[in-house]
Amino acid sequence: MRFDVLTLFPEIFAGYLGQGLLKRAIERQLIDVYVHDIREWSTDARHKKVDDRPFGGGPGMVLMAEPVVASVEAARAQQADPGHLVMLTPQGRRFDQRVVEELAANERILLLCGRYEGFDERVRLILRPDEISIGDFVLNGGEVAAMAVIDAVIRLVPQVLGDEQSSGDDSFSGPRRWLEFAQYTRPREYRGLEVPPILLSGDHGAIARWREQDALRRTNLRRPDLIDGRQAETEGGERQETERDSQ
């Protein structure tokens, strides 16, 4: 799978690409990530300017359509497959595990990162991207959002995770999309808190049943909306109290 990131700050990605699962996936040639500097398509050869003041006035700067559209078209032309173009924007559809699964079906994804006040509207009108928001808040730029998309999508690329099973139990995954059950590792006892004995029993059937019940209990408490569309508890404090009481 190939990702092309289009950004004004390509250097942000070096550390991220050089770590952990993503680094290994790149080394194993399961994933390719190409980072393109939008400034290279600036029509202003001297200052590499790619932004300008908004028509109609107001604060901040707007990314000009010309260099942005040219950079996307040039990146697309590098391969026969033009890829699936994603624009990172707080005004897009909300990113969740279903969108991750949808995106993972593509062989190539281009991720267009904005800055400042965002893009000239004509970028959207000309390129018709899949507009994606990683949540109802405003970031300074699309780079962190692009990393979130890459990070989530590569987990679904075959062989990227060591154990093919290991994304199936994840929160929001599998047929039910519940939260994952509680996980424990050594030591068996820590500060008076013991690992549930069933997990030490070696009885795989009983362990599977315990995990299923725990996943349901946690989902009910924390995200009942995942079960039946009910509103999730908004008061984190209240939720934690309820959960502690039930243990």
Q: Where in the sequence numbering do the catalytic residues fall? A: 90, 117, 155, 170
Selected from 115, 124, 155, 218, the binder of ligand SAM by CB under 6 A is 115
Q: Decide: is 113 part of the binding site for ligand SAM (CB under 6 A).
A: yes
Q: Decide: is 174 part of the binding site for ligand SAM (CB under 6 A).
A: no
Q: Decide: is 139 part of the binding site for ligand SAM (CB under 6 A).
A: yes
- Taking Cα atoms as reference points, which of 146, 133, 45 lies closest to residue 89? 133
Number of residues counted as binding ligand SAM (CB under 6 A): 19
Q: Which of residues 85-104 bind ligand SAM (CB under 6 A)?
A: 88-91
Q: How far apart are CA 230 and CA 31, in angstroms?
A: 38
Q: Decide: is 140 part of the binding site for ligand SAM (CB under 6 A).
A: yes
Selected from 28, 43, 122, 135, the binder of ligand SAM by CB under 6 A is 135
Tokens found for residue 136: 């109802």
Q: Which of residues 36-95 bind ligand SAM (CB under 6 A)?
A: 88-91
Q: How far apart are CA 111 and CA 130, in angstroms?
A: 10
Minimum separation from the CB atom of position 88 to ligand SAM (A): 4
Going by DSSP bridges, is the β-strand pair 193-194/189-190 parallel, antiparallel, or unpaired? Answer: antiparallel
Selected from 85, 118, 210, 223, the binder of ligand SAM by CB under 6 A is 118
Comparing CB distances to ligand SAM, the nearer of 82 and 90 is 90
Comparing CB distances to ligand SAM, the nearer of 51 and 214 is 51
Q: Which residue is nearest to ligand SAM (CB)?
A: 114
Q: How far apart are CA 36 and CA 5, in angstroms?
A: 6
Q: Decide: is 145 part of the binding site for ligand SAM (CB under 6 A).
A: yes
What is the separation, in whole angstroms, between the first and last Cα of the chain?
43
> Is the bond leading into 187 cis (omega within 30 degrees of zero)?
yes
Selected from 46, 137, 228, 235, the binder of ligand SAM by CB under 6 A is 137
**Whole-Å CA distances, 237 to 178, 229, 231, 240, 242:** 21, 21, 16, 5, 9
Q: How far apart are CA 84 and CA 211, in angstroms?
A: 37
Secondary structure (3-state) at 39: helix
- Taking Cα atoms as reference points, which of 140, 164, 167 lies closest to residue 153? 167
Secondary structure (3-state) at 150: helix
**Could you tell me which stretch among 27-35, 73-81, 137-145, 219-227 binds ligand SAM (CB under 6 A)?**
137-145
**Could you tell me which stretch among 19-27, 100-108, 127-135, 216-224 binds ligand SAM (CB under 6 A)?**
127-135
Which stretches of the chain bind ligand SAM, using CB under 6 A?
A: 88-91, 113-115, 117-118, 133-135, 137-142, 145
